[in-house]
Structure 1
């Protein structure tokens, strides 16, 4: 299959991707939309005319960001709603409160490399719970709204998925030693698998789902992996990493959320505003930001298995 390409690249910004695109009448939800890539994704969607809801933990901060986006874009249809992804009651309340169709769901919120193993009250490893299970529950809870007028799901993953497949035998580290970046990688692989399976299961409903790597951006996400007390090795990686701006990092999310160039495209993984090739996981050892997706992250059997495990977990 030929990989999908676009006129854009790693230096393109979200606004450039959506330049000339009219999203008036389209309704979008962006989780984690009050900072970093989520903020710039929400801003670009609002500038293109979409009605945008920032789904965030801190609604006071979200309200300030919504006001900032409105002042910047002139779009007054920017709202804020509470969402705590590790709290299923919060996720279910958000889905239950949503009225009418949903055209764009950007599963953007996430946490990275918690230094010590943390479990939710259900016994779920917190990165897996936040990055995958909470978003899984949100998407399935909003399925009817997404199906109403053929919605798009945009699932934000990471090159870090190359660090680990989903280890079904011990997802939540009950038996194996906890490694922060491995756990983060497992959760990001789950995101790719979710998008692949949602694309398959929900195609008949007119819903598309794609995952992406936004690129490395200096945001609060890295506070554990690259904190003030980082090792010399981590400092060397931090200083040499090919960082980009948040607006550039949001470009691929904006492409999948609103561009006509990917209309009807589903179940694929994108990077630098183009579909990425399958590569070996070992590539992450030779390149700080390799372009590509691990075969295990698109494996149909693993995608089906993860869906069943996730559905059983969130009820």
Structure 2
């Protein structure tokens, strides 16, 4: 195992701090879920550094309001809005089909968390798995050629410490045989996102596309509406500006150049852990989430799931 990557930043660092002095003029970025929380702050930081940013959002009307605010705040007029609902494959495929030109940064940020009841989405799959993982897999696959054309692109996937609460259960992805568990289903979807990042890096790094996953930290945003984000233990809580720091670092910092297939938190690579924590927000990455065999297996079954 290679030595863990260390940066000069920590859990207190903000998105603005990790990107200070970085010039992203001429770079193009797509961010899903950029109408609230760390998605907006990620967009703000990248736009402030000069990037052309597309807010890939479920509600374009809300996206236009955010875009107008960001243009005013950053002085960057190259902030656009596109409808992308990662819970709807038709929406994702329409967006990727319409994209033209290179893409330098893809931030898979949108997500849902701990639905109290079992819901089914794309193809009848459990909704969190369908939204958090399948939708972003389809998005990444559809934008692969655009990222390859960039001559050096980064894909950043926002996972969660929730992945520590479940591996991908290959024999029952959709809770057809086992009782539904909100935290377990969320955890499985977030493990799937880490495995996607690992396998994408392995398959696409030769095209100049580097891919990493991350845990942003515990931030009280709309994502926690079913759990009460402020119940997370105090030492693990962050502001939105701190929560977006790891995403922005992986997306744009020169210090992260050439880094891929890893899982970060607090703007540093996370240590591996081998047992389940007793509470949300605990640091570390499960060994099953970085397992190359799991990553390859999940990738190989996902394309058929998408039809």
Normalised by the length of structure 2, the TM-score is 0.97
- 1:156 counterpart = 2:144: no
User: What stretches of structure 2 of length at least 5 have no aligned partner?
Assistant: none
| SS of structure 2 residue aligned to 1:202 | helix
Could you say what secondary structure the match of 1:63 adopts? helix
Shift, 1:204, TM fit: 1.0
Cross-structure match for 1:308: 300
Which deviates more, 121-130 or 181-190?
121-130
Offset, 1:226 = 2.3
Is residue 243 from structure 1 mapped to residue 237 from structure 2 by the alignment? yes
- Whether contact under 8 Å (1:241, 1:288) holds in the other structure is no
- Partner Cα separation in structure 2 for residue 128 and residue 22 of structure 1: 36
1:296 matched to 2:288? The reply is yes
Any residues of structure 2 matched to 1:58-77 within 5 Å, and which? 58-77=59-78
Matched, 1:182 2:150: no
Query: Do residues 263 (structure 1) and 257 (structure 2) align?
Result: yes
Tell me if the contact between 2:232 and 2:281 (Cα under 8 Å) persists in the aligned partners.
no
What is the distance in 2 between the residues matched to 1:308 and 1:216? 32
Aligned-residue offset at 1:242:
3.0
Aligned residues between the structures? 305
Matched, 1:274 2:268: yes
1:128 corresponds in structure 2 to: 129
8 A contact 2:199–2:299 mirrored in 1 = yes
Q: Distance in 1 between matches of 2:102 and 2:182?
A: 38
Equivalent-residue separation in structure 1 for 2:43 and 2:169 (angstroms): 33
Deviation above 6 Å: which 4+ runs of structure 1?
A: none
2:218 pairs, out of 216, 219, 244, with 216
TM-superposed deviation, 1:125: 0.5
Q: Secondary structure at the match of 2:92?
A: helix
Q: Secondary structure at the match of 1:118?
A: coil
Q: d(CA) in 2 for partners of 1:133 and 1:18?
A: 30
Change (3 A) 1:242 1:276: closer
Which residue of the partner structure matches residue 146 of structure 2? 145
Offset at residue 78 of structure 1 (A): 0.4
Per the normalisation by structure 1, the TM-score is 0.94
> Offset at 1:65?
0.2
Tell me what 2:18 maps to. Answer: 17
Write the deviation string for residues 225-264 of structure 1: whole angstroms up to 9, x where unpaired.
229xxxxxxx8x4474632111100000000000000101
- Aligned with 2:224: secondary structure? helix
Coordinate RMSD, CA, aligned: 1.3
Listed one character per residue, the Cα deviations across residues 73-107 of structure 1 (whole Å, up to 9, x for unaligned) are 10100000001112111110000111100000000
Q: Following the alignment from structure 1 to structure 2, what is the Cα–Cα distance between the partners of residues 191 and 266?
A: 14
SS at 1:289's partner residue?
Answer: coil
Q: What is the aligned partner in structure 1 of residue 82 from structure 2?
A: 81
Indicate the SS of the match to 1:264. coil
Mapped contact 1:269–1:275 kept (Cα < 8 A): yes
**Correspondences of 1:101-116 after superposition (within 5 Å):** 101-116=102-117
* 1:231 counterpart residue number: none
Aligned to 1:252: 246
CA deviations over 1:157-196 (Å, ceiling 9, x no partner): 0000000000000000011000001100000000000000
